[in-house]
């Protein structure tokens, strides 16, 4: 029997509201686990949720991140129409904005028989597969999570997808940020993921033109479904 995951596309969503919604679903799954039940949808047990969205310009800092990796003050944040949040995910600072696919898997890893390392590996794998579908070769960087181009070249190495997660009792939240048509200028105001010596890129930059965002999103959905061997319910 395939793993069933409820999929929701939140489209353009305020970061704080999306975070609160994640927390609601996260707590729902934890309550069900405590009661020894499965999360249900129309009497059909599911193993969690997968949310997709785009955010307005926002910087988020992980719980172990350094505040000084945000290189601008509150006044400049307002000038560039951006907000800033310290979050409860892992990782350091990153940027979310229009043209980026943000994915929030809220999965019960026990129900899909995965540990946290394999879970992160699978997220990376789905993005790597998606990039390959569009003619971009990518890989992992051994010392950091996410998906990178030319990871072994200290000069050319650049990140195209950031990953930062939280897990409690094997239930996940937060997730990944995949640069499709992202305005990369916003990354110049931070040390992305805490790195001062590595670049950031997007599909638009690598391929020389804006990409069909909807097509990339559907391809990524299919690859996530394949990698995790799950059925996405809408």
Pairing, β 93-96 against β 58-61: antiparallel
- Locate 30 and state its tokens: 């934890």
- For residue 104, the cross-strand partners are 51
Q: What is the mean pLDDT of residues 95-117?
A: 96
pTM of the model: 0.93
Write the pLDDT tens digit of every residue in 42-73: 455 789 999 999 999 999 998 888 889 999 99
Write the pLDDT tens digit of every residue in 150-181: 999 988 999 999 999 999 999 999 999 999 99
Q: What is the mean pLDDT of residues 198-205?
A: 94
What pLDDT was estimated at residue 198?
Answer: 77
The span from the CA of 179 to the CA of 96, in Å, is 9
Q: Which residues are catalytic?
A: 193
Comparing CA positions, the residue from 48, 197, 176 lying closest to residue 110 is 48
Comparing CA positions, the residue from 48, 77, 50, 80 lying closest to residue 61 is 77
- Locate 182 and state its tokens: 């992202």
CATH of 3-233, one of 3.40.50.1370, 3.50.50.60, 3.30.930.10, 3.20.20.370: 3.30.930.10
Q: What is the percentage of the chain residues whose pLDDT exceeds 90?
A: 79
Which position has the token pair 């995949």? 178
Residue 195 above 70 pLDDT? no
What pLDDT was estimated at residue 125?
Answer: 98
């Amino acid at each position: 029997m395939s793993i069933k995951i409820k999929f929701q596309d939140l489209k353009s969503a305020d970061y704080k509201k999306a975070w609160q919604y994640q927390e609601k679903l996260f707590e729902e799954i934890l309550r069900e686990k405590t009661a020894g039940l499965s999360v249900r949808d129309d009497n059909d047990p599911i193993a969690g949720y997968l949310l997709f969205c785009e955010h307005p310009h926002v910087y988020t800092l992980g719980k172990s991140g350094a505040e000084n990796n945000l290189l601008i003050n509150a006044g400049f944040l307002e000038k560039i129409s951006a907000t800033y949040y310290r979050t409860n995910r892992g990782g350091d600072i990153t940027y979310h904005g229009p043209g980026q696919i943000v994915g929030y898997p809220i999965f019960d890893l026990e129900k899909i028989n995965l540990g946290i390392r394999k879970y992160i590996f699978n997220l990376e794998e789905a993005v790597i597969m998606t990039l390959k579908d569009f003619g971009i070769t990518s890989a992992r960087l051994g010392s950091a999570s996410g998906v990178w181009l030319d990871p072994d070249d200290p000069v050319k190495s650049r990140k195209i997808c950031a990953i930062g997660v939280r897990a409690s009792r094997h239930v996940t939240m937060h997730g990944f940020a995949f640069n499709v048509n992202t305005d990369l200028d916003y990354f110049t105001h931070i040390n992305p993921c805490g790195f001062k010596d590595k670049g950031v890129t997007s599909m638009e930059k690598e391929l020389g033109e804006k990409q069909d965002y909807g097509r990339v999103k559907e391809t990524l959905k299919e690859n996530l479904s394949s990698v995790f061997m799950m059925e996405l319910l809408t």
